[in-house]
Amino acid sequence: MRDLVVTENISVDGVLDGDFYVLAGPGDVDEALREQRERADALVLGRSTFEAFRSYWPQQTDNPSGTSQYLNRVAKYVVSTTLAPGDLGWESSTVLRGLDDVRTLKEQDGADIVVTGSVSLVHSLITAGLVDEYRLFTYPVVVGEGRTLFPGGRADLRLVEARPFRSGVVLARYRTDA
């Protein structure tokens, strides 16, 4: 069974909303992101995040981090009940209709499945017990209000890695052992 990995940019006070990821500066977390890309062969997104990515990343032809090249080639899955399979407009994209389809994807052979952004979808995945690992890039900023990662406010996690970066960002990897 494949691991489903939630990767999020998060503030010190646990808020997911915000563009504070720009605080890292060029190259600061690129190595960690490259490592993640090498361990994953699928990306699952909610509809809103998929549409935002689709409108931006395919046009980024000079991206030294390798993110645009990865996103344009990786198998992308969008969880949506409204998008039509023929209307996705981004190469290697497939519609999943719900959590049962995500569960089926996890049961297939392959590398990690990464979910990023997509807060409503992530909340559903957490509630359904489908998340195996969290990779949280914590930024040294306090946002004060906004959506947080864990719907119910509690999760029992096991730390498997903590990696600080020059910018003050810290990558913390947690396993659910679910």
Q: Residues 78-137: pLDDT tens digits?
A: 999 999 988 899 999 999 999 999 999 999 999 999 999 999 999 999 999 999 999 999
CA–CA distance from 22 to each of 48, 103, 144 (Å)?
A: 20, 33, 18
| pLDDT of amino acid 26 | 61
**Domain range for 36:** 4-175
Cβ atoms within 10 Å of 51's Cβ, excluding its own: 17
| pLDDT of amino acid 87 | 85
Q: What confidence tier does 22 reach under pLDDT thresholds 50, 70, 90?
A: low
- The percent of residues above 90 in pLDDT, for the chain, comes to 71
CA atoms of 149 and 153, how far apart (whole Å): 8
| pLDDT of amino acid 82 | 94
We report the CATH number of the domain holding residue 152 as 3.40.430.10
Q: What confidence tier does 62 reach under pLDDT thresholds 50, 70, 90?
A: confident
Which residue bears the tokens 């409108």? 55
Residues in the chain: 178
CA atoms of 147 and 14, how far apart (whole Å): 8
Q: What confidence tier does 75 reach under pLDDT thresholds 50, 70, 90?
A: very high
User: CA 161: distance to chain centroid?
Assistant: 17
CB 139 within 8 A of CB 169: yes
Q: Residues 147-166: pLDDT tens digits?
A: 999 987 778 899 999 999 98
- The percent of residues above 70 in pLDDT, for the chain, comes to 95
Structural domain count of the chain: 1
Residue 81: burial class (beta carbons within 10 Å; 0-12, 13-18, 19+):
exposed
pTM of the model: 0.93
